[in-house]
Amino acid sequence: MRGIADYEFIRPLGSGNHGQYFLARRPARLPVEAAEVAVKVLAAESTEVAFRRATRELRAFAAVRSPYLVAPYDAGQQDGIFYYSTEYLPGGSLAVPAAPLDRPAALRAVAHAARAVAALHAAGVVHRDVKPGNVLLHEGGARLSDLGLAHVFAEGVTITGMGALDSVEYVDPALLLGERPQPSHDVWSLGVLLHRVVAGTGIYGTLPEGDGLLVLRRVVSMPPKLSAELPEALAALVRECLAPAADRPAAPALADRVDRFAEGAS
């Protein structure tokens, strides 16, 4: 794909959650200073109803002012394909950093993601797709990107509509089974993210590649298991994030605690 609408693509940035990301030249009409932007193109055609719902949710996301959120710029539809553009951060992500990250920097990135989630929750928005690939890095830390829109384009679908396999590991099983999105679901995801960043492994062990049904079965039926590599204080915090929803910490408190771990690891 060479472009969409008036976006000229420079190169692919990766794929995930029912779409592909591209680095693109900023169209002259966009009132931003950056020469380049990131564009996500959804893989499947969208109905007009889904398009309206997606743009409504993106407007809600854009209305939240936080230095820990990636700035969305634009959204549209061409030939039934939905796309949207955001600021581009060249530092990569927690999934694929552009340069090696030490533990303090990785912990700060998780804390910043939690602060982004806190800002969304304060505005009544649940992110639904907190994972390493959506925590984008820059010199000062990280910003959270890519509001989870998979449910918009798979209306009425629960387990099979929750996104790519790399997303499923981070999703609260209650959400996978059809529970209405709540702030506590994002806190679960942040706990899994924290485990991954510190221990280097997931809470379900090594998940099978290429077998989506088996991955889903394991996630919804297998209790999480924390790595022995996790320091006890961090393990306790992860366990709190994975506790029953009513017992989980709120995102602002979680961010403060992760920040303290980052300072102690420096």
Domain ranges of the chain: 3-87, 103-265
Quick one: pLDDT at residue 263? Answer: 92
Burial of 97 (0-12, 13-18, 19+ CB in 10 A): middle
Give the CATH number of domain 103-265. 1.10.510.10
Residue 48 has a pLDDT of 78
**Cα 188 from Cα 178, distance rounded (Å):** 16
pLDDT of residue 31: 93
Output phi, psi for 210, to 5 deg. Answer: 80, 0
Radius of gyration of the chain from its Cα atoms, rounded to whole angstroms: 18
Select from 1.10.10.60, 3.30.230.10, 3.30.200.20, 3.40.30.10 the CATH code of 3-87: 3.30.200.20
Question: What is the model's pLDDT at position 88?
Answer: 95
Distance CA 141, CA 166 (A): 23
Q: So what's the pLDDT on residue 157?
A: 38
Contact predicate 109/142, CB 8 Å: yes
- Write down the pLDDT at residue 195: 97
The residue ranges of the chain whose pLDDT is under 70 are: 16-18, 44-46, 148-166, 265-266
pTM of the full structure: 0.89
Query: What is d(CA 174, CA 177) in angstroms, rounded to the nearest whole number?
Result: 5
